[in-house]
Chain A
C-alpha cells in the first residue's frame, strides 16, 4: 500500500515537469503503462496515471479541477486566508464599496465580505460532502441490491426510485425543511433525501451488466454470502460511474443549498453561507450591488468548477454516456 502511494507521488512529480525528464522516467512510464501489471499496486497506479493524463489533456477539466482544489484549500485554510473575522462587526465601515482594504466591500454590519465568502467555502464544502456521503451510499446500496437480486425486489425498489425521480426535488426539499424546521442540518437531510434516486438507477444498471458474470458465480460457489458479494465485489465496480454522477450533481446540490439559505431555511445568521448572504444583500441590491453580487459569483465559480470537472471525468471514465 505504502509502495503504491510513493509511486503515485513520484508519477505526479515527473508527470507535470515536461521540460527536464529524469533518466528513469521512461522506465517509470513503461512500468505504469504495462499491459499486464504484476501487482494490484501497479495496476492501480497505472490506471491512476492513465486517468490523470487523459484528464490533463482536457483544458476545461483542468480548470474545473483547479477550482475544486481551490475550494478545498480555501475551506481548509480559511482563517489564514481571510483578512478579517467573518462575523466581526465594524459599524463605522458599513456598506463600503470594494477597495484595497475590503476586496469585496463590506456588508450592512461592516463585516468584510471577502472574509465571509472565504469562510462560506467551509459551509458549502461541508454541505456538499455530507449530502454526497449520505445520498450516494444510500442510492448505491438500493441500486446494487435491486440489480443483484432482481425479480420482485428489483420491481419494488426501482418502482420506488422511479417514483422519487418523477417528483420535483427542490419542492420536496423545501417541504421537508418546512416540516423539520430551518437550519443547516435539516437542509442537508432534506437535500440528501431527494438526491439518492439517480445513484440507485446507475448502480442498478451497472450491477445488471455483471450480475451473471462468472466471478460472481465463483464467489457463490466459494460460499460467499450475498452481503459479502454485494459489498466486496458489486459496489466497488459501480463506483466510477457513481463518482462521475456525484461530481456532476455537486453543482445542483450547491444551488439547492444556496436556495434554501436564500429563503432563510438553510444556514442561519450569522453563519456566512453564500445563499443567506445574497438574501441579506437583496435589500441593498440597487445601491450597494456588491453585497449580493460577490457571494453569487463565488457560487457560480464553484458550481462551474464541479460541472467542468464532472464533464471531464465522464469523458475519461465513461466515454459511452448519454447526456442525461
Chain B
C-alpha cells in the first residue's frame, strides 16, 4: 500500500515536472522564436545600431538557443519573469497582485456550477427523454454555444443598465476601494477579516453577475457530464434490484446510483475549475475586472510580451496543476483504476 502511494506520487511529480517543462518550452518558443525580431520589440525601430547590439547582448540573444532556454528556465524557477513594458513593474509583482481577483471570481463560479449543475444533471438523467430532460440538455448545450464575452455584455446591458440589479464593471465601488488591508487579496475574505460589512456587500454585489455568468459555463459542462454518468448508473442491474426490493426512489438515486459517480465527478469539477481560470479572460475584459485575464488582454494589446508570457505561464501552471491533481485524486479514490 505504502509503496503504491510512493509510486503514484513520484509518477505524478514526474508528469507535472515534464508538463511544466513543456509549457516553458512553448512560452520560450513564443517569446524568442516566433517574433521576427524580439530586440526590435524592446528598443523600437528608431534605435541606433549600437543601442540595438547592446540590447541584444543584454537580452542574451547572442547565445545559442539551448543556452537561452536553460537560462530562461532558471529565471522562471527563481520567479523572475522580466519587467512589464506597460506597467513598468516586475511581471511577478503584477501577477501576484492580480491573481487573487481571478481566483475569487473563478471559485464563486465553480461553486455556482457545482451547486446547480450536479442536481440538474441528476434531474435530467432521472427524467430521461421527457420535457425536463430536453430543457436541461438544451440549457446545458447553450453553455457550449454562447460566447462568454457576449453574455457578459448583454448581462451588463440588462441587469446593470436596464434593471439596475447588478453593480457595474470593476471589483468594488470606487469610494470603497482600498479601505481594507489586502491580507489574502480576496476581497470577500479580507473585508470579513476586517469586519467591514459595507465593503463585503459592495464586493459581493460586483462579483455576483460575472461569477454567475462564469458559473453558467461550468454548470453547462458539469450538468452534461453528470447526466451522462447518471444514465450509465441508472441502467445498471443493481439499480433495478434496488427498485425491485422496493427501495424509495430518492434513495435509489442519491444513495445507490449517485455514489459511484462522485469520483469521476471530482475530475470533471477539477477540469471545469481549471477551465474557468482560463475562461475568465473574456469575462474579466468585459467587466473590467482587475484579474489576470484582464492583465493578459491589456498586455496583448500593448504587445507587452514579458507580461503576456508571464500571465500565460501562471495560468498554464495552475491549469496543469489542477488537471493533474484531479487526475491523481481519481486514481487514489477509484479502486478500479489501480492496476
**Chain A interface (Cβ within 8 Å of chain B)?**
159-160, 162-164, 166-172, 174-180, 251-252, 255, 258-259, 262-265, 275, 278, 281-282, 285-286, 289, 292-293, 296, 299-300, 303-304, 307-308, 311, 322-324
Interfacial residues of chain B within 250-301, with CB under 8 A of chain A in the complex: 274, 277-279, 281-282, 285-286, 296-297, 299-301
B213, CB-defined interface residue at 8 Å: no
Complex Cα–Cα for A213 and B131 (A): 45
Pick from B23, B35, B281: contact of A174, CB below 8 A: B281
Whole-angstrom distance between the Cβ of B153 and the nearest chain A Cβ? 5
Pick from B27, B150, B278, B309: contact of A292, CB below 8 A: B150
CB within 8 Å for A174 and B323 given contacts A166-B19, A263-B297: no
Q: Check if A168 sits within 8 Å of B147, measured CB to CB.
A: no
CB within 8 Å for A303 and B145 given contacts A171-B296, A263-B300, A323-B225: yes
Pick from B26, B156, B308: contact of A178, CB below 8 A: B308
Chain A contacts of B154 at CB under 8 A?
285, 289, 292-293, 296
Q: Check if B224 sits within 8 Å of A323, measured CB to CB.
A: yes
B319, CB-defined interface residue at 8 Å: yes
Whole-angstrom distance between the Cβ of A234 and the nearest chain B Cβ? 27
Whole-angstrom distance between the Cβ of A281 and the nearest chain B Cβ? 8
B116, CB-defined interface residue at 8 Å: no
CB within 8 Å for A178 and B300 given contacts A296-B154, A307-B144: yes
Complex Cα–Cα for A144 and B34 (A): 29
Chain A contacts of B320 at CB under 8 A?
166-167
B303, CB-defined interface residue at 8 Å: yes
Q: Check if A176 sits within 8 Å of B34, measured CB to CB.
A: yes
Extra pairs beyond A167-B320, A170-B278, A174-B300 (15, CB < 8 Å)? A164-B22, A166-B324, A168-B315, A171-B319, A175-B312, A179-B35, A255-B148, A262-B147, A263-B297, A264-B301, A265-B300, A285-B153, A286-B157, A296-B153, A296-B154
**Chain B interface (Cβ within 8 Å of chain A)?**
18-19, 22-23, 26-27, 30-31, 34-35, 141-142, 144-150, 153-154, 156-157, 161, 224-225, 228, 274, 277-279, 281-282, 285-286, 296-297, 299-301, 303, 305, 308-309, 311-312, 315-316, 319-320, 323-324
Smallest CB gap from B33: residue in A: A179
Complex Cα–Cα for A164 and B296 (A): 20
Whole-angstrom distance between the Cβ of A322 and the nearest chain B Cβ? 7
Q: Check if A172 sits within 8 Å of B144, measured CB to CB.
A: no
Whole-angstrom distance between the Cβ of A242 and the nearest chain B Cβ? 19
A-B contact pairs, 5 of them (CB 8 A): A171-B316, A172-B316, A174-B300, A178-B299, A264-B301
Q: Check if B228 sits within 8 Å of A322, measured CB to CB.
A: yes
Q: Check if B278 sits within 8 Å of A262, measured CB to CB.
A: no
Whole-angstrom distance between the Cβ of B279 and the nearest chain A Cβ? 7
Q: Check if A296 sits within 8 Å of B147, measured CB to CB.
A: yes
Pick from B23, B147, B308: contact of A278, CB below 8 A: B147
